[in-house]
Amino acid sequence: MTLQLVLLVAVALFSIGLYGAISQQVVVMVMMGIELMVNAVILAAAALWWFLTPVVDIQVLLMVVIAAMTVEMAVGFGVATLIHRARRSDMTDDATELQQ
Amino acid sequence: MIASVLFWISALVAVVAGALVFKVDSMARATYALALSFIAVGVAVLTMRQDFVGIIVILMMVMEMAIMAVFMISYMGMNPALMPMDMTHAKRPAAAIATIVFVGLGAAVLLIPWPVIDPQPVEGLTEQLGEAMMGSKMLVMLTVSPVLFATIVASVVLASPRGRYDRYGDRLRGPAHDPEPGGLGR
């Protein structure tokens, strides 16, 4: 177990999450992709703490990342509820005017 | 040695379960796969002797995936959430972008000359983290707290069917425009 190999695992998780976030149509599935990407960030930050700088600052950073994940989930569900109420659908293709 | 073996098993499970999230054809199965991936990452973090973060990741993600499954079924109805279906678009460009990102970041990981340090477990890490959050890193927590509170407010505002502007208009004046009058005098 070396830093490079752990970071490669994190990169693989990040790439899978990115694929899902781009390719999925359902809002909840897009959120799953983003969650997978944040999951990779948690693994990478934990590895950097373990292999490079075992100081408590990175642990605090990890707490912030986990909080960001919670915020993303809560607001994402709020938006999904709003779209579902307005369009009776939870597909990203029904909310394309957000691009404008 | 045991920690290393455990890490590789959990890393393999995390990546395979992560890939299954977008491979399985039922969204309920996708939720279970994502929960498994998160638990595996939590175990991987535990093998790097970060007990608090590892346990928090496992507990939080299991709860989060349970909530996600409930939302999915409530939005899509029981059948579409549990039955096989394919709701994707732009699969090839997405796969190409993900591959490019993997190759780019992977090359950076392998080419950067990382310093080689023999990792040693830190005694009392959870205690240090607690003291840092309540002491030297208090500003971070003071920033996160209002953000979380703002998230609660924003989520409720977004998800509520009718707010005060729907009831009283843009100027917030006049009698409430309610489908049914409420209160004692109705």
The percent of residues above 90 in pLDDT, for chain A, comes to: 32
Task: Return all residues near B58 (Cβ < 8 A) that are at least 6 apart.
Answer: B38, B39, B42, B43
- Interchain CB contact of B59 with A (< 8 Å): no
* pLDDT < 70 regions, chain B: 76-86, 183, 185-186
Global pTM reads 0.85
Residue written as token pair 């972008």: B97
Instruction: Number of A to B CB contacts under 8 A, please give it.
Output: 216
**In this structure, is the dihedral angle defined by the CA atoms of residues A21, A22, A23 and A26, taken in order, positive or negative?**
positive
* Total domains in the fold of chain A: 1
The string of pLDDT tens digits covering residues A35-59 is 999 999 999 999 998 888 888 888 8
**CATH label of the domain that carries residue A75:** 1.10.287.3510
Nearest to A31 by CA among B90, B155, B30, B98: B30
| Other beta carbons less than 10 A from residue B30's beta carbon | 26
Range of the domain at A50: 3-99
* Cα distance between residue A7 and residue B19, in whole Å: 17
pLDDT in tens, B155-174: 888 888 777 777 888 888 87
A86–B contact, CB cutoff 8 A: no
- Among A6, A34, A36, A57, most B C-beta atoms within 10 A, so best to mutate, is A36
Q: Residue B66 in contact with residue A65, Cβ under 8 Å? A: no
Residue ranges of domains in chain B: 1-86, 122-173
Q: Which of B43, B53, B74, B97 to mutate to test the interface with A (most CBs of A within 10 A)?
A: B53
**Contacting residues of B for A29, CB less than 8 Å apart:** 22, 27, 30, 87
Using the beta-carbon criterion (under 8 Å), do A31 and B68 form an inter-chain contact?
Answer: yes
pLDDT in tens, A5-31: 999 999 999 999 999 999 988 888 888
